Chains A and B, each alone.
Chain A
Amino acid sequence: MGDDGIGIHVIEHLKQMHAELPDNVEVIDAGVCGFDALGLLEGAEKLIIVDSVKGVGDIGSIHRFVMDDIRKATSRCHLSLHGTCLADVLCMAEHIQEIPEELIIFAVEVDRTDDISLCISDRVQASLNEIVTSILDELGSGAVTEQYIQK
């Protein structure tokens, strides 16, 4: 896992401040559930996904993607039920169900993903605050962001 666990580290950060998040925000660890994630994509006005990405920029950099970027993605992994990627799930969701009007993906450029470890590397760790701030900005909760930065 190693850096691949970035989403879980972000969730833990967000959960710690759960009381300060707006009531209508739900934080979910989607695991590696492939098509089983379809059930999680329904019923929200806005959906923010945090995932790791490799080979797009410097380690620790954060990329913001929207659904249009996913639609345009040309290379896709072959479909295996153990290798269903996020883009496959999102494209499939568009075909079979309603998806949130606003869908944002924060992709964090990671380093090591083949470590058997619960820790993330220093350069990715250093981006954690920026990811959380970006999420809070997307939620439009400026006050919460302010509190978070002060902490």
Chain B
Amino acid sequence: MTNVTIDPLTRIQGHFRLSTEVNENGVITDAQSSGMLFRGLERILVNRDPRDAARITQRVCGVCPTAHAITSANALEDLFGIADQIPKDALVTRNIMQSLNMIDSHATHTYALWLPDLVNPAYRDVFATADNMGTMLWRELLHRFAPLSYKIDGISIPPGQAYVNAIKEKRRLHGSIALIAGKMPHQMSTIFGGVTYKPTVADIGKLTYYHQQLMDFVDKYTLGIDHSTWLDNTYRASSPQRAVEFVTGHLQELTESSMSSNDFSYSAGWGDIDMLLAFGSETIGEDILGLPVSFKFDRTGTYSDPANIGFLSYGAYYDVENGDGYDPLKFGQNSFHKAAFITGSLEHKKFDHMKITEEVSHSFYTGEGDDHPFDGDTEPVRNADEIDYHGGSQSKYTWIKAPRYEGVPCEVGPIARMIAMQEPLTTGLMNTFSDNGHPAVNTYIRMVARVQEMLILLERLIQWVTSDLDPDGRFSVPIDMSMAKDSQGVGLWEGARGALGHWIKTGTDSKVSKYQMVVPTTWNASPRDSNGIPGPIEQALIGTKVSAAENMLGIDNSNPTGILHTSRAYDPCIACAVHTIDLRQKDGKGERVFDIV
């Protein structure tokens, strides 16, 4: 048994430690996920004017502050009892900002953080087993996905074409959000009651132009075919089976024309998603298409016990078809992204936020029991000696709490949302894996779901911009501070990485008495609970083989691709899941005490 620890995990956002045990067969048998920092934002909000929340909670991180701004506004609108009055055009504006942020985040994760994993040197050797085809494919992967300042064996590799052009689009997306939100990150527009800025006709024109440029990138690099054709045959396919047939048919054509020439370039028709879809999966690539080699991502990051995992989506994007207002607790029923709890056996159930609890038996907090976030506390342990990341799975080992839904750990994010909305390509591919005797949810489907969600949202976004937004409409409603007395509010929404909830309570002085945020990476990177059930990333790591392509070329614990790919596929963002401490040496007694700053 070998301990393989990655600390910090790179190409994610924030500070994340993964400690694993790997057996002599190269299989991960145990895993602990540790968030390395304490998040004190909730304590900052106590005793403040509740209106500050939509400004302050955004500061948790610069990656998805838009989602925190809107979730916080939702919680405040529930608290003040004005959610049913929020003007339609304010809701449309928020939908536009959120979708831009989600697309930006997905594009960044896919191109800048995850696809560079495909050019890990281990795959040069894996693909070399497929002779000339493998060598040509490896060159093409480097040409597309090599990150900045990349070296293999001391030789500099220029950054990949897709990588560099995606960063250009990321810049454009940030600019687009700033155009209507004041700035990005940490926007100024979303406040409870509406938005502070009315997008002008000129803004709509600019957003439309930016969108066109984004779609040029998508058609040229991501898809290799026109996006409408892609979505007509996948997202709008008449059944999951038809969606898979379209994709496998498309990949079959590409494969047939490329196998003799060994040309896997963009000009040969291979979009980035085609590369991922064909070579990422053993079932699709090797078993169905007959390719000689694959990354086998569909065999990693799976869950072994359906009873111990669920998939959760709170729903997002306001339904703007019916005019003003929304119901803070029911909007997931009609929204673009649906609210749902899906069991590990993929059974859909109605979502009820009262079934959410958080506990801290393995986290560096005091408190017992499973509290609903309305009753939750953020009380860190006070003795610095208790903060030990090496204590193993029986001890406290992380700053991330353990959220559960009906007692079950849940994966959140694109895969949960795509299952909740029964997206045909995602569910079709999952069926394909199940039908072939393999787990339906894995690293491969997580990545495909993220790209597919980005494509679907890009299409929806432009409808909000050009059809739904009326620049002459109303954008806010007045509020009365007295309405915040002795009240409470729930804000449910979806950040790029998954389900995001804010819960607020106020006292007789209308000030915040409690504020709790349960964020996407808290769900995904959760530690064990009091029953010893590991969190989703921990479960996904356990059983995964440590080295490239299912240990195809042997075990290499110094390049644990299985840990890297599996955990990164969740797009972990630790800043949001945790925050900062000031560790101080106190007096001569050798007792260390820390203050929260």
Contact = CB atoms under 8 A, between A and B. Distances in A.
Interface in A50-73: none
Interface string B47-77: 0000000000000011100000000000000
B175 A39 contact: yes
B148 interface: yes
A38 B169 CA distance: 12
A82 B108 CA distance: 13
Contact of B12 (A34, A76, A80, A91): A80
Contacts of A91: 148-149
A116 B582 CA distance: 8
Interface residues of A, number: 20
A81 B113 contact: yes
A69 to B, nearest CB: 15
Contact of A38 (B8, B159, B171): B171
A12 interface: no
B13 A82 contact: yes
A96 B168 contact: yes
Contacts of A35: 167, 170-171
Contact of B575 (A33, A34, A82, A96): A82
B536 interface: no
Contacts of A88: 148-149
A95 B185 contact: no
Contacts of A79: 10-11, 112-113, 116, 147-148
B167 A80 contact: no
B521 to A, nearest CB: 13
Interface in A76-110: 76, 78-83, 88, 91-92, 95-97
A35 B105 CA distance: 13
Contacts of A80: 8, 10-14
A33 B582 CA distance: 23
B134 to A, nearest CB: 27
Candidate in A35, A80, A97 with the most chain B CB atoms within 10 angstroms: A80
Interface residues of B, number: 30
Contact of A78 (B10, B159, B167, B185): B10
Contact of A92 (B62, B148, B174): B148
Interface string A112-146: 00001000000000000000000000000000000
Interface in B518-571: none
Contacts of B184: 36
A96 B167 CA distance: 8
A36 B185 contact: yes
B171 A95 contact: no
Contacts of B148: 79, 88, 91-92, 95
Interface string B158-183: 01000011011011001100000000
A33 B62 contact: yes
A88 B149 CA distance: 8
Contacts of A34: 62
A36 B108 CA distance: 12
Interface in B98-140: 108, 112-113, 116
A78 B62 contact: no
A82 B578 CA distance: 14
B307 interface: no
Interface string B553-597: 000000000000000000000010000001000000000000001
Contacts of B62: 33-34, 36
B67 to A, nearest CB: 15
A95 B170 CA distance: 14
Interface in B1-35: 8, 10-14
Contact of B13 (A36, A78, A81, A116): A81
A81 B63 contact: yes
B174 A36 contact: yes
A45 to B, nearest CB: 21
A64 to B, nearest CB: 22
Interface of A: 33-36, 38-39, 76, 78-83, 88, 91-92, 95-97, 116
Given A76-B149, A96-B167, 19 more contacts: A39-B175, A78-B10, A78-B11, A79-B112, A79-B148, A80-B8, A80-B12, A81-B63, A81-B113, A82-B575, A88-B148, A91-B149, A95-B148, A95-B159, A95-B164, A96-B164, A96-B165, A96-B171, A97-B168
14 contacts: A33-B62, A34-B62, A35-B171, A36-B62, A38-B167, A80-B10, A80-B12, A80-B13, A80-B14, A82-B61, A83-B10, A92-B164, A92-B167, A96-B165
Q: 3 tightest A-B contacts by CB?
A: A78-B10, A76-B149, A96-B168
